[in-house]
Structures are given as C-alpha cells and as structure tokens.
Amino acid sequence: MKNNTRGKRILIYPPFADPTQPYLALPALKGYLRRRGWDAAAVDLNVEAAHYLLSPSHAIRCAERISERFLELNARRSLRLDEQMEYVGLAQARPRMTQWLAFGDTPVEIFQDASKFYDIGWYTAARNMTEDILACVSATAYPFRYHFNQASHRVVPWDFDLLDAYCRETQSPLDNFYRDFLAGLDAADLQFAGLSLTFPSQLPEVFYLARLLKKIAPQCFTMIGGACMHQIVTLVPEATRGKILAAVDAVGLFEGEETVAQLFERLDDGQKMRDPRERFCCTKDIPNLMMLDPVTGKSHVGPLQVLDMDDLPLPDYSDLPLQRYLAPEKILLFAPSKGCYWNKCSFCFYGFNTSARHGYREMNAANAVSQLQTLRRRYGVKHFYISADVLSPDFAARFARELLDRRVSILWATDLRIEKHYTPWLCDALFRSGLRAVAFGVESGSDRMLRIMKKGIRTALIRKVGKDFHTAGIATAYMAFSGHPRETIQESLQTVAMIRDQRAAIDLFIVGEFGLTGGCDIANHPSAYGIKRIFYTAGDEFRMYPLFEPNPGNRNGLRRCLNDAVGRVAANFHLDHYPWAGAISTHHSFLYFLRYGQDVFRKPSIWAQKAAGAGIKTRQLAWRGLTVKAKFPVRRLAQTHHRILSDFLARALSPGKEPSAPLSFDYFRKHLRRCEDTRFEKKDL
C-alpha cells in the first residue's frame, strides 16, 4: 500500500436515491483502487441524509419552519401568485406534519426491525409516514420537491441559472447536514473528492456539494463521474461542458476505475497540480478523463479505455454502513456484466454502449461466483441483486450451473431479456441456484410495435417465457410503456390486455409513458418514427428531456384513454412506486417475495385489511401554525394554480418556429413578475 498520508481522498454518493440498499459504484471503484495500491474513503451521504430527514430532531425543525411560514402568510391581507402556491403547499403539509409528530416509532426503526417490517400494517404505516415526511420537507423548500428519486423544481428543469440560485441561496433542505459533514473533514488536508452522479435526482445535490467543497477546500481536486454524468456530457454542446468544468476540475467518462487510479498518481505532485496549465499537461493523457484545456478553453478527453471484466477485483463495501440502510436484511449489488448484448432497441440509449468498444462484456461465470462467495462470507450477506443492464441467456445458464455445482447458498434477483433459450429446464435450474425475482422489459403487447421497437421478440414468446419462469417459482415483473410515437390507441390497449390475460403468471407490472431519450435510434432517425422534429426547452441545459412533434398533447390523450384499462388490471395487484414494496426491482419487494412468496403482491386485499388495523403509539406535539384556521381558501387556490400552470406550460413547452421551447428558470421568473398583480385578497373571500 502506498503512503497516502499526504492527502485525504473521499468518494461520495450523494442524495437523492434509494436508501434501502448500497449502490455498487463506490465499492467497485474502491476495490479497484486498493488493488492498485491506493485508497479513498467511500461515503454514502444518501443513506445518511435519509436518517437525517427522517429523524425526530429534524421533525421538530421542520414543524417550526412550516408553522412560522404559514402564520406569516396567513396573516397577510393578500398573496402574490408564488406566495399562493407556497401557501397551498404549507396548508396541505400541516396535517401530515401533525401525523409525523404524533408517530411514536420512526420509519427507520420500523424498516430495520424485521418483526415490524414484515408486518404489513406496520410496514404500510412507515411507508406512508415517510411519504408524509418528504412532502413536509418539500413544503419547507418551496418551490422544490424531494423524494428518494426526485429533487426538482416544481415547474422548470435544472439549468445553471437555477443551480446557481439553488446553491447561492442555500436552498437545499440538506444544507446544514452537508455543512456538519464537511466540518468533520480536515479541509486543509483534503486532496480529492469524487462525486457519483448516477441518477438525475442527484444532479442538484452533486453541484451543491461541489460548490461547498470548493469553498472549504479550494486546493481539493473535485471530479464528477457516473452513468448520468456520462450521458450528459455525451449529449450536451461544448458550452455546457464548459459550465460543468467551471464547477469541478474534471469529469470521468465511461468506466472510472483506471481514470481515478492514474489521477491519484499525479495528485501527489502537488506543485504541478496547483498551476492549471501544468496540471492539464500532467493529466491530459489519463484515460476517460475530461478536463478543460486552459489554452483553448475547450474540453479535452483522454484516450478511451475499456476494462477487462475478469480483471476487476472484488467490490469493497467495507466503508459503507450496511446496518444503516432502511431494511431489516442486507443486500449487496454485484455486476458480472456490462452493457446490453442485444443493443438494438430503438428507444434505448446506454452511455457505455455507444461505441463498439463499449458493447456487452461479461465475467467468466466461475470468477463471478467466486467473488459472490467471498462477498457472502466477508459481509455476512446472502441476498444479492445482480446489477446488470441485462444478462445473456448463456451467462445466466453458466452462472446458475456454477452456483449449483459449488453449492453456494444465496438468493438473488436480476433483469433478463425475453429469449427462447429460457426453457422450463433452465428456469428450474435458475430457481434452484437461488433466483427468486426477475424483471423483463416486455415493452408492448403488440407484435407490430415490438418490430418497430426492434425488440426481436413476439408476444407469444413473452407469454411462454413469463409463464415458465413463474411456474418455476420465480417472481416475475413486466415493464411496459405506451405512447411510442408510432403506437395507436388500440396497440396500447393490447399491452394492457396481454398483462390482464397473463396476470396469473405476472407478480408485478408497470405500464409507463414513453419518454424520448437522447442518443437512441428514435432520436437519431426521427423521421423514420413519424417525428417531425425533436427539440429541448431553453432551460434543459443538460439535455435530459428531449421533446418532439407530434407534441406531447397527443400522448396525454392516449394516457387518459389508458388509465381506466390499466386501473382495472392494477386492482388485482398491490402496486407501489420506488423504492417501496410493490415496485419493480426494489429491495423491499424482493424481501417480501422471499418472506411471503411470489404472489404476495397479487393479494391486494391483505394489504388493505392489514394496513387498517396497524397499532401506532402516539404522542401529542403541536405548534400554533399547524392548527390555526387557514384564512385563504386552500382548495380554491389549488384549483386556480393548476389552471394557471397548465396554461403556462402549454405555452412554455411549445417551440413554435423557434429551435427550442421557452421554458426555463428565467422564463418562469418573468412569468411570475408578470403575474404579480394576480393577488388574492382576503376581501375576496
């Protein structure tokens, strides 16, 4: 091990993401660095932030903020439009806040206590309380909304104007939490901070943390990596790359293991690393590293490098607090493959998959099982999520055979692609190897749409393979969507009909709404899919939400038509959203499958009956602002705002003859200023 006392290095996984299980990115990076003789402290700020937000002490602070602000607005003679929207949010949060304060057990305690977690009544109460807490957090942080997969402005996408205001005005609900964490670091000794931007919901907090790090440790080399960051810099124009590289020193593209290892070697040369020109000359040949060339002012990317899957060391979870995740039993993520072996679906884009050098790769199955055996022994974990875009049928068969031959006792879940190779015999072998839950991207119940999507399968095969997995005892989840630009209403209803007809062999499902992804075949060849043009909103600087004509209004009509049909099928299930039990590929759903069997979510009645009878201890706490009568008509204001915002978005999302739609943070602020006279007076009551 090299002497690392010359500078402390940290790897940070930021909020907001799933706090029920550790994510793989930092342990994989840490394991690689340690084999190369380097080390860095991996910190999961996401799970610690969940503990902070769900704590009793935070409940009191949140209650004070809601009470004080509501009393302040309630005492005014009139409210501007933005104040009206804030007032409605506070008013709607007050009963939730009161319930939160009266709840005897914290949600964290219930999720981590097996006797309560597996009691559906207690579980549902904790789930509902967490939803209430996050709604209250959002009410105190107007105009932003937060969840474990959301950190967004209520109206506009993130751009650098909004991020600057968010950071400058310390608007993150985690500001104090971040400052306490950073105060515990030796800022003068901090040499490197890597931020993992894996999901869009982490974006504002990544830039928030980057700014705080630069303030307390200006000498620290800051870097952002991760799948979401890779996709962003792949799609955005050079000007946006420049803004990103003004916020941090570097961005890691593709796989970051060798990138960070080589960067650590150069960071020890402190004299060179302090001067921007010398630092660039010293680091420009590091693979997969994007930095700003101080001479040209443009971004520069080092040589492309691909890792050998069989050369990857064991993920190192030793820094992560496995006992603090919001579940009674631990689970680890493990990735024996990368990319998608099919890689043809017209709607899909994987950042690591756009080059032939970054196609599907997999470990030797024997190596994968050896690593799982070590992880099981080292961390005392028997549950694993095989975190891969998709496993090939051949690898799945060899993997199952290795697990069975070595008598490795684990239980696992993963995503698979519908393939004819999954015979009843193979499904049975996968079950005996420990596979207990699988998710399939079936996409559509229309053979014509499957051809247009380039899925390479037919609905008859979907039915057969899904049934064979279910018969083997493996819980199945179907992921589908509607609103593809060439889909008819009749074809969307065929998808619902397929799920309805197969519901005895389907344990969870979702029918989402199509969203265009930059870089996919549809985006690259829009006319082939009946799209006149693709555009972005002016504020979507990160190019995360491409829009297209025919415009989304047509899809909204399709969605309304589908709601009743989906609702009738969903009535036969207990379905929920991420990360709760009843959502696809979540840790909580997996644990419920293991405890109650594959049909646990096809018994909606037991969830409703049990939830109604949950016994909850209470204590009475209250602030005047939580109980005083609202002096403005909350329901009427909410209806008015919905209409005003709907009209505003209809204009803001329409490009007209311009290259982009006008929606942005600045456009929204100007709209609010124009509406300053739209006051609601108490005399109008």
Q: Is residue 561 scored above 80 in pLDDT?
A: no
DSSP 3-state percent helix, strand, coil across the chain (nearest 5): 50, 15, 35
Same domain, 173 and 154: no
Instruction: Give 240's contacts (C-beta < 8 A, 6+ positions apart).
Output: 541, 542, 543
Rounded to the nearest 5 degrees, what angle is found at the Cα of 299, between the Cα atoms of 294 and 302?
100
Kindly state whether residues 379 and 493 are assigned to the same domain: yes
- Which letter does DSSP use for residue 580 in this model? S
Note whether residue 457 is domain-resident: yes
Q: Give, in degrees to the nearest 5, the angle at Cα 279 between 217 and 253.
A: 85
Which has the higher per-residue pLDDT, 271 or 548? Answer: 548
Of residues 610 and 290, more confidence is placed in 290
Domain assignment present for residue 604? The answer is no
Buried b (16+ CB within 10 A) or exposed e, 599-612: ebbbbeeebeeebe
CB 155 within 8 A of CB 662: no
For the chain, give the mean pLDDT. Answer: 91
Residue with tokens 């001479």: 295
pLDDT band at 551; cut points 50, 70, 90: very low
Indicate whether 367 belongs to any domain.
Answer: yes
Q: How confident is the model at residue 2 (pLDDT cuts 50, 70, 90)?
A: very low
Domain contains 321: no
The pLDDT, as a whole number, for residue 293 is 94
Domain-embedded: residue 293: yes
Range of the domain at 639: 52-158+621-684
Q: Are 233 and 253 in contact (CB under 8 A)?
A: yes
List, for residues 420-474, the tens digit of each pLDDT value. Answer: 999 999 999 999 999 999 999 999 999 999 999 999 999 999 999 999 999 999 9
CA distance 594 to 570: 22
CA atoms of 284 and 281, how far apart (whole Å)? 6
Residues 467 and 357: beta-carbon distance below 8 Å:
no
> In one letter, which amino acid is 322?
L
In a domain, 324, yes or no: no
Report the pLDDT value the prediction gives residue 504, as an integer from 0 to 100.
Answer: 95
Looking at the structure, do residues 154 and 183 belong to the same domain, yes or no?
Answer: no
pLDDT for res 102: 83
Compute the average pLDDT of residues 232-244: 95
Tally of structural domains, the chain: 3
- Please say whether the beta carbons of 258 and 287 come within 8 A: yes
Q: How far apart are CA 276 and CA 278, in angstroms?
A: 6
Q: How far is residue 377 from each of residues 292, 324, 382, measured CA to CA in Å?
A: 44, 19, 9
- Per DSSP, the three-state class of 514 is coil
Minimal CA–CA distance to 459: which of 490, 495, 487?
A: 495
Burial of 66 (0-12, 13-18, 19+ CB in 10 A): buried
Rounded distance between C-alpha atoms, residue 453 and residue 484, angstroms: 9
> What whole-number distance in Å separates Cα of residue 168 and Cα of residue 247?
13
Cis peptide before 579 (omega within 30 of 0): yes
Give 8-45 pLDDT, tens digit per residue: 999 999 999 999 999 999 999 999 999 999 999 999 99
Instruction: Find the mean pLDDT for residues 604-608.
Output: 89
Are 428 and 458 in the same domain?
Answer: yes
> What's the token pair of residue 389?
């875009």
Question: Distance of CA 496 to CAs 439, 444, 445, 512, Å?
Answer: 17, 9, 7, 11
CATH of the domain at 533: 3.80.30.20
Instruction: Say if residue 265 is in the same domain as residue 151.
Output: no
Residues 78-113 have pLDDT tens digits of 888 899 999 999 999 999 998 888 887 899 999 999
Residue 278: which pLDDT band, with cuts at 50, 70 and 90? confident
45-59, 241-255, 444-458, 608-622: which has the minimum mean pLDDT? Answer: 608-622
Residue corresponding to tokens 């509406």: 675
- Is pLDDT at 353 greater than 60 in this prediction? no
Query: 682 falls in which pLDDT band (50, 70, 90)?
Result: low
- Tens of pLDDT, residue by residue over 358-410, are 578 999 999 999 999 999 999 999 999 999 888 999 999 999 999 999 999 99
C-alpha–C-alpha distance, residues 550 and 532, integer Å: 7
The share of the chain scoring above pLDDT 70, in percent, equals 92
Whether 121 and 150 have beta carbons less than 8 Å apart is answered as no
Assess whether 552 and 424 both reside in one domain. yes
Clarify whether residues 152 and 184 are in a common domain: no
Assess if residue 607 is contained within a domain.
no
Tokens standing for residue 3 = 């002497």
Looking at the structure, tell me whether residues 517 and 642 fall in a common domain: no
Do 30 and 72 share a structural domain? no
Confidence category of residue 557, pLDDT binned at 50, 70, 90: low
Q: What's the confidence (pLDDT) of residue 99? A: 86
CA-CA distance, 610 to 607, in Å (whole number)?
Answer: 5
Residue 552 has pLDDT above 90, yes or no: no
Give the pLDDT band (50/70/90) at residue 683: low
**124: pLDDT confidence band, cut at 50, 70 and 90?**
very high
Average pLDDT over residues 189-214: 96
Residue 611 lies in a domain: no
Residue pointed to by tokens 């579980």:
123
pLDDT above 70 (res 558) = no
- Higher-confidence residue of 238 and 105: namely 238
Instruction: Supply the pLDDT for residue 673.
Output: 84
Q: What is the CATH number of the domain that holds 216?
A: 3.40.50.280
pLDDT of res. 680: 66
User: Do residue 122 and residue 217 come from a single domain?
Assistant: no
Confidence of residue 609 (pLDDT cuts 50, 70, 90): confident
Rounded Cα gap, residues 241 and 25, in angstroms: 23
pLDDT (mean) for 270-289: 83
Tell me, yes or no, whether 481 and 426 share the same domain. Answer: yes
Residues 368 and 510 in one domain: yes
Other residues' Cβ atoms within 10 Å of the Cβ of residue 552: 17
Calculate what percentage of the chain has a pLDDT beyond 90: 79
CA-based torsion, 55, 60, 64, 66: positive or negative: positive
Please provide residue 226's backbone torsions phi and psi, each rounded to the nearest 5 degrees: 115, 160
**Quick check: 72 pLDDT over 70?**
yes
CA distance 499 to 510: 10
Cβ contacts of residue 87 below 8 Å, gap of 6+? 70, 73, 74, 79, 632, 634, 637
The model's confidence at residue 656, banded by pLDDT at 50, 70 and 90, is confident
Q: Which backbone phi and psi does 583 adopt, to 5 degrees?
A: -105, 160
- Average of pLDDT values for 130-154? 96
- Note the pTM of the prediction, 2 decimals: 0.94
Tell me what pLDDT residue 356 has.
Answer: 46
Tally the C-alpha atoms within 13 A of residue 210's C-alpha that lie toward its C-beta: 26
